[in-house]
Structures are given as C-alpha cells and as structure tokens.
Structure 1
C-alpha cells in the first residue's frame, strides 16, 4: 500500500493497484474453496458416492518413489512426474497414477510412489521399473480440483467401513484427467482406490 501511495505516476499506480487487486481476488477464491470443503466435511452431501469394487492385477510400471512429508508431496510429485515423462516419452500406455502409504496421511510422512504405465519401463535417474502388486480396491472418482480431495477420501472411507473390510495397504490414485490434460479444473478426474478384503 505504501508503494502505491509513494508512486507519482498514475499509470504505474494503476498497475500496482490492479496487481494488488488480483492477489486479493486469488486469495478470496482460495478461501471460498476452503470454506466449501469445510462445509462439506461438517454437512456432507447425503447423496451416496458411486463406488466400484475392482480386482487390479499385478503390473509393472515406470516409477519414482520416496519417503516424503505431507507438506512436500505436491512439490515432490511435480518433480517426479516431470522426470517420469522425460524418461518414458511417447511410450506411455495409460494415465499416470500414485500409491500412498497410510503413514503419509496419519503421521504426515510416508512412502509415496508415482508412476507411468509403459510396456518397457526404463531405468534412469530416479526412474525405475516397479511391480505394483495385485489389489482388491473400492474405487470412487474425485471430480475437480485436488484441494477438496480429502472430502472424497472421507466419503470413500465411510463407505468402506460400512460396506467392506478395509485392509492395510497403500491407497492408489489414478489421474484419469488432470492438469497435464486440460487447464479446466472442473474437467479433472482422479480415481481413488481404497484397499479392501472381499469375500464375494
């Protein structure tokens, strides 16, 4: 604000005010999104979520893995995915995905994997072949930005408790449509797979 008041040039002053206004509007948008997420946590939508029980076979992918802190996951993911895309190139055979240990959510630090499916996973830098074990999963789709994904996790966790037997194991995500596919967050689709034990 002091810089705006000290600037004698009206054109520069207008540009500073515009920049400041944009920052305030961006902060307001983030606050509104947080309020919507918190309201959904307090008063969840009564409509049931769509859940599909899936048996995922074992498969080998190109992966980057590390033990990371919860606060560092977004930065780590961006770097790991860029490295994967550079290593795999056009040989990708499906959407990217991730696997995240429960400790990452419960203790704020845990093992994380991001991967790209490819017929011949390379070994270069941090990228290496990794075999994802077979898994029985309860799968739902989170629609839109990732800021509110914890609400979808909560809804899926409730469904698992009420309808299936949860087992220890990492949660899996598949980024069916994401920021690399479209800049429109409303079009993003993230599948969340919760490990379960099925008898039927």
Structure 2
C-alpha cells in the first residue's frame, strides 16, 4: 500500500484489495491492492486496472484486523444460507484504516464476497 500511495497523487476514494480464494484455502495466492484515481499512473509495479463489476455480499468489519476472520465467517455463513458463491477474489475496501487514524478501534473494513443471488433477499 505504501508503494501505491507514493505513486498515486490524487486518490478518488477508499483504497482496497482483491484477495484470491487460494490465500484463505492454501495460504498462498494473488493479491491486488488498488486505489481509485482519475489519472492512473504507471510506475514500477503500479499500473492501471479496471475492476470488473461483480455482485457482492457485503459486511463491514469494525476495529483492528486481529479478528477480521470472524466477520469473514459471518459473511460466509450468510452466503451459504442466502446466495451462491461464485469464483472470484474477495474484495476489501479500507473505509477507515491506519492511514486515517492511529486508533484501531476506529478502523472500518468493508468485505465483499462475490455471489450470484438465488432467491429473494
């Protein structure tokens, strides 16, 4: 994230990340960190990408990331009960984080799990 912040001069929204399912299942996989900007730079490992549109089941984790797995479990349980999980990376959006405040209790991380709705919600 520090490398991205050093290159993106004028972010237009909250930064985030896309995390392959393999990271959770196998402990290894791909990660893409991103930060919206109207003028995407290309320098070093930083390059423009367009994130595909996707339907997500979303929950907001409040506080430090030490127990973010609990929120992931809650989203996963909801997905199993109410939707069909689809292949694709889980998305995190860092609404409030270390760059905003040194108080971990104030952090807010949005977790988005790719789904295909199968019924009324």
Under TM normalisation by the shorter chain, which class is it?
A: over 0.9
Structure number with higher relative contact order (C-alpha < 8 Å, ≥ 6 residues apart): 2
Matches within 5 A, 1:1-200: 81-89=1-9, 91-198=10-117
Distance 1:141 1:112 in 2: 20
Q: 1:46-82: per-residue Cα shift (whole Å, max 9, x none)? A: xxxxxxxxxxxxxxxxxxxxxxxxxxxxxxxxxxx11
Task: Supply the RMSD in Å over aligned alpha carbons.
Answer: 0.9
- TM-score scaled by length of structure 2: 0.95
- TM-score scaled by length of structure 1: 0.58
Which blocks of at least 5 consecutive residues in structure 1 are unaligned?
1-80
- Greater helix fraction, Structure 1 or Structure 2: 1
**Superposition deviation, residue 158 in structure 1:** 0.3
Secondary structure at the aligned position of 1:126 is classed as: coil
**Superposition deviation, residue 135 in structure 1:** 0.3
Q: Computing the radius of gyration over CA atoms, which structure comes out larger, 1 or 2?
A: 1
